[in-house]
Structure 1
Amino acid sequence: MQKERTLAARVVYDGIGLHSGKPVHMELAPAAPGSGILFARSDLPEAVPVPATAAHVTATLRATTIGAGSLKFFTIEHLMSALHVQGVDNCLVLLDAEEPPVVDGSARTFFRLIAEAGTVEQDAERRVTVIDRIYRVDDGSHFIMALPYDRLRVSFTSLNDHPLIGVQYYDLEVTPEAYEKEIAPARTIAYEKEVAALQANGLGLGGSLETVIVYNDEGWMNPLNFPNELVRHKILDVLGDLRLAGMIRGHIIAVASGHALNTALAKQIAEERE
């Protein structure tokens, strides 16, 4: 029988939000058994924390947003991905803005901060989200599905018309060691011609060559961590989005899936469990 785990110590990090461009102070704090992952505003102490669950997803445009009432938190997927793989069941995420720090556009810093803090076992049985049948969500040529599997595995195919990227495929048996090396360093990617339109719509205001890898019609504007960094980052996002349905045990297979399909699958899984 597995026990729930929470952080052994508080984690503190200051940065800016990817889409808001606003400074943010983040604290990750231990939480009581059964709490789950909770997002709260440290500057709004009267506001009720928002559970990071599929039922609280409110938007998926370029990021995953959760909310309740007037309170919302967006671009939570990178942090959620690191918490998922580190096996953190219960954590209070305190922010003084609506968005966690983007750092370098990956989950590497979050993963390392959690590892440095460590986790402790709690006096509660962990409810693992065991995939025991086939779940699937389709959107034309895009889909994501979950199949029974005795561990956690993700197989992702990315489709991009740009000749620089094309079709990318990556398959990973997810362990903390493999994730830290192969997935956590994979950063958010943007096409240069889209940047101005995104910023005109209030998105990507914290984006720069330090926080996003950018490509144009000539090539990459900054060095890559991996030749197939895009598909690796897609796996990073999947692991963050599906954490909204709990600690997953199963095989996730996706083709050109994004936050909308990822969170739709998380909702499908979570609703059946409830």
Structure 2
Amino acid sequence: MRGFIGARQTTLASEIALTGTGVHSGAPVSIILYPADSDTGLRFLLSNGDADSTEIAADQRWVTGVTLCTVLGDGNGASVATVEHLLAALRGLGVDNALIEIDSAEVPIMDGSAARFVEAIDEVGLAELDAPRRYLKILKTVSVEDGGAYGELSPYNGFHIDVEIDFVANVIGQQRIDLDINPGSFRRELSRARTFGFMKDVERLWAAGLALGASLDNTVAIGDDRVINREGLRFPDEFVRHKALDAVGDLALAGAPILGAYKSSCGGHRLNSLVLKALFADEDAWTLVDAPRPSREIRHAELSHLAAVNFAAERS
């Protein structure tokens, strides 16, 4: 399997505490990421410092909003927004299990990318657990058309992203990124790409109660067909890289690392969510498989051979 991370599940080696601001709410936010046991998955704990805390799994079944960000809700009024960058960092670095305690209704935007989350995870490192890593294997192509957007998940021996965007604004235009996702490529190619927006939309968003915490410190601002931020872009194609970052985070809501290729054109959070819903609606399109666990007798040099393993397609 390309981008092979490991045969066993992982969690954080120790807890991580971060503070920031919600990009839409403008409110201060504190989060603590805790290590978690095998098969916990990625879960949010909405805490007000009392016994009425609510847990919401990072799962596509709990998506309640896809306008400008991805929102998870429990159906009873509790919700957490802008989860995609943090989930992208966790999935991109191969973290299978973590409990994310948050004291607000929105994950902090940090610098508009996943870079701070990646740095924090790298600072504490990962701990390997005893249970085998479980993958969601794509068995056949599932596709969705939504207006002028198109997305699909198809079989692939690894995790691959192919994202294309096409904006009228010349500063963006048509851009595409196409790469295998593993911890190294995620850090280098996607983690630092920031969210972006158009200055002409600011007043409309403010009137709708959105983007109240947006600033040049956390958003690439586009005005009069130029980038307003003094430092410019981090990549010539930072816009499509951020769309790919969002896709990795939204696809983390599959509930397990994906063995498959994701392709999208002119998409965003809504399209990413629709493709996952279409996938799970077709029971013949996917299966869950455990990574093969190498015996202790296998020499370290031979572990690279595991990258070519094709998992059996037995449903579990």
Residue 103 of structure 1 corresponds to 110
> Match of 2:36?
31
Could you tell me which amino acid in structure 2 is paired with residue 265 of structure 1?
Answer: V
Identity %: 36
Amino acid at match of 2:235: F
Does the CA-based 8 Å contact 1:149-1:251 persist in structure 2? yes
**Partner in structure 2 of residue 140 of structure 1:** 147
Counterpart pick for 1:64 among 59, 70, 81: 70
Alignment of 1:1-274 (within 5 A): 2-43=7-48, 44-68=50-74, 69-222=76-229, 223-245=232-254, 246-271=256-281, 272=283
Relative distance call for 1:45 and 1:2 in structure 2 (3 A) is: farther
**Root-mean-square deviation (CA), in Å?**
1.4
**Is contact 2:169–2:225 with CA below 8 Å preserved after alignment?**
no
Extract unaligned runs of 5+ from structure 1: none
Gaps of 5+ in 2: 1-5, 288-316
Q: Deviations over 1:165-212 (max 9, x none)?
A: 111111111121111111101000000000111111011111000010
Q: Contact 1:106–1:233 at 8 Å: present in 2 too?
A: yes
Which string of whole-angstrom CA distances, capped at 9 and with x for unpartnered residues, describes residues 192-250 of structure 1?
Answer: 00011111101111100001000111411011101111100000000000010021111
Could you report, residue by residue, the CA deviation over 1:56-112 in whole angstroms, capped at 9, with x for unpaired residues? Answer: 000101000001011100000000001111111111001110111101100011111
Q: Is the 8 A contact 1:242 1:265 kept in 2?
A: no
CA distance in 2, matches of 1:124, 1:73: 29
**Cα pair 2:141 2:155 within 8 Å, conserved:** yes
Paired with 1:17 and 1:178, the residues of 2 have a C-alpha distance of 27
Report the 3-state secondary structure (helix = DSSP H, G, I; strand = E; otherwise coil) of the residue aligned with 2:106: coil
Aligned length: 274
Q: Is the 8 A contact 1:107 1:184 kept in 2?
A: yes
Question: Following the alignment from structure 2 to structure 1, what is the Cα–Cα distance between the partners of residues 224 and 169?
Answer: 8
1:228 counterpart letter in structure 2: D
Say which SS state the counterpart of residue 20 (structure 1) adopts: coil
Q: Deviations over 1:109-136 (max 9, x none)?
A: 1111111111112222222011121011
| Structure 2 counterpart of 1:267, one-letter code | K
Q: Provide the TM-score with structure 2 as the length reference.
A: 0.84
Residue of structure 1 equivalent to 2:309: none
SS of the equivalent of 1:49 reads: strand
SS in 2 for 1:35: coil
Residue aligned with 1:197, SS: helix
- Runs of 4 or more, structure 1, over 6 Å off, are none
SS state of the match for residue 209, structure 2? Answer: coil
